[in-house]
Chains A and B, each alone.
Chain A
Amino acid sequence: MVNKTLVAAAAITLSSLALTSCGDSDASSGTDNGGSGDGAITMGFAQVGAESGWRTANTKSIQDTAKAEGVDLKFTDAQGKQENQIQAIRSYIQQKVDVIAFSPVVETGFDAVLQEAKAANIPVILTDRAVDADPSLYKTFLGSDFVVEGEKAGQWLVDNAADADANGDGTINVVQLEGTTGAAPAIDRAEGFADKIAADDSIEVTASQTGDFTRDGGKQVMESFLQSDDSIDVVFAHNDDMGLGAIEAIEAAGLEPGKDVKIITIDAVKDGMTALSEGKINYIVECNPLLGPQLMDLAQKVLDGEEVPARVLTEESAFTPEQAAEVLADRQY
Chain B
Amino acid sequence: MTETTTRVQRVLRHPLLWPVLALVVLVLVNVVARPSFLDVRMQDGHLYGNVIDILRNSAPVMLVALGMTLVIATRGIDLSVGAIAAIAGAVACTRIVGAGDEAALTTAVMAVTYALVVCIVLGAWNGLLVSVLGIQPIIATLILMVAGRGISMAVTDGQITTVNNPFFSDLASGFVLTLPLAFLIALAVLAFTAVLTRRTALGMLIEAVGINPEASRLAGVRARTIIWTVYAFSGLCAGMAGLVIAANTNSVNANSLGLWIELDAILAVVIGGTSLAGGRFSLAGTFVGAIFIATLARTIPNIGIPSEINYLFKAIVVIAVCLLQSPRARAVFRVRRTPRPPAAGPAPTAEPAPATAGVRA
B14 at the interface (CB under 8 A from A): no
B24 nearest CB across to chain A (Å): 20
* Partner pick for A254 among B44, B157, B297, B300, CB 8 A cutoff: B44
What 1/0 mask marks residues of chain A from 109 to 153 whose CB sits below 8 Å from any chain B CB?
000000000000000000000000000000000000000000000
Known: A56-B158, A207-B304, A241-B160. A227 touches B50 (CB 8 A): yes
Q: Which of B53, B297, B301 has its CB near the most chain A CB atoms (within 10 A)? A: B301
* Partner pick for B162 among A220, A224, A271, CB 8 A cutoff: A271
Within B279-334, which residues are at the interface with A (CB < 8 Å)? 297-298, 300-302, 304, 306-308, 310
B43 close to A253 (CB less than 8 A): yes
Question: In whole angstroms, what is the CA distance A52 to B160 when docked?
Answer: 7
* Partner pick for A209 among B36, B257, B300, CB 8 A cutoff: B300
B40 nearest CB across to chain A (Å): 10
- Mark the stretch among A3-11, A244-252, A277-285 that contacts chain B: A244-252
7 contacts between A and B (CB under 8 A): A55-B158, A56-B159, A220-B298, A244-B249, A252-B173, A254-B43, A271-B251
Within B138-164, which residues are at the interface with A (CB < 8 Å)? 153, 157-160, 162
A209 nearest CB across to chain B (Å): 5
Give chain A's interface residues, CB within 8 Å of chain B: 50-53, 55-56, 178, 181-182, 207-210, 212-217, 219-221, 223-225, 227-228, 241, 244-245, 248, 252-254, 269, 271
A53 close to B256 (CB less than 8 A): no
B329 nearest CB across to chain A (Å): 31
What 1/0 mask marks residues of chain B from 1 to 40 whose CB sits below 8 Å from any chain A CB?
0000000000000000000000000000000001011000
B307 close to A51 (CB less than 8 A): no
Contacting residues, chain B, for A207 (C-beta < 8 A): 301, 304
Question: In whole angstroms, what is the CA distance A227 to B50 when docked?
Answer: 6
B80 at the interface (CB under 8 A from A): no
Question: In whole angstroms, what is the CA distance A181 to B250 when docked?
Answer: 25
3 tightest Cβ-Cβ pairs between the two chains A and B: A215-B249, A224-B301, A210-B307
- Residue of B at shortest CB range from A209? B301
B275 at the interface (CB under 8 A from A): no
A49 nearest CB across to chain B (Å): 9
B107 at the interface (CB under 8 A from A): no
Within B222-273, which residues are at the interface with A (CB < 8 Å)? 245, 248-251, 253, 255-257
Known: A207-B304, A209-B301, A248-B249. A228 touches B44 (CB 8 A): no
Contacting residues, chain B, for A214 (C-beta < 8 A): 253, 256
Contacting residues, chain B, for A213 (C-beta < 8 A): 256
- Residue of B at shortest CB range from A240? B160
Contacting residues, chain B, for A217 (C-beta < 8 A): 256
B57 at the interface (CB under 8 A from A): yes
Known: A181-B307, A224-B302, A271-B162. A253 touches B256 (CB 8 A): no
B255 close to A51 (CB less than 8 A): yes
A220 close to B49 (CB less than 8 A): no
B108 nearest CB across to chain A (Å): 18
A137 nearest CB across to chain B (Å): 31
Consensus secondary structure, chain A interface: helix
- Residue of B at shortest CB range from A224? B301
Question: In whole angstroms, what is the CA distance A223 to B310 when docked?
Answer: 17
B48 at the interface (CB under 8 A from A): yes
B206 nearest CB across to chain A (Å): 32
- Residue of A at shortest CB range from B44? A254
Contacting residues, chain B, for A269 (C-beta < 8 A): 160
A52 close to B251 (CB less than 8 A): no
B99 nearest CB across to chain A (Å): 19
* Partner pick for A53 among B49, B160, B298, CB 8 A cutoff: B160
Contacting residues, chain B, for A224 (C-beta < 8 A): 50, 53, 298, 301-302
- Residue of A at shortest CB range from B157? A56
- Residue of A at shortest CB range from B60? A216
A162 nearest CB across to chain B (Å): 28
B160 close to A220 (CB less than 8 A): no
Question: In whole angstroms, what is the CA distance A253 to B43 when docked?
Answer: 7
Question: In whole angstroms, what is the CA distance A182 to B311 when docked?
Answer: 13
Question: In whole angstroms, what is the CA distance A16 to B185 when docked?
Answer: 67
Contacting residues, chain B, for A221 (C-beta < 8 A): 301
- Residue of A at shortest CB range from B251? A215
Contacting residues, chain B, for A209 (C-beta < 8 A): 300-301, 304, 307
B310 nearest CB across to chain A (Å): 7
B307 close to A178 (CB less than 8 A): yes
Contacting residues, chain A, for B43 (C-beta < 8 A): 253-254
Question: In whole angstroms, what is the CA distance A225 to B300 when docked?
Answer: 11
Contacting residues, chain B, for A178 (C-beta < 8 A): 307
A181 close to B173 (CB less than 8 A): no
Question: In whole angstroms, what is the CA distance A271 to B44 when docked?
Answer: 27
- Residue of A at shortest CB range from B297? A220
B302 close to A53 (CB less than 8 A): no
Given A210-B307, A215-B251, A216-B256, 20 other A-B contacts at CB below 8 A?
A50-B153, A52-B160, A178-B307, A181-B310, A209-B304, A210-B310, A214-B253, A219-B248, A219-B249, A220-B297, A221-B301, A223-B53, A227-B302, A228-B34, A228-B36, A228-B302, A245-B249, A252-B48, A253-B43, A269-B160
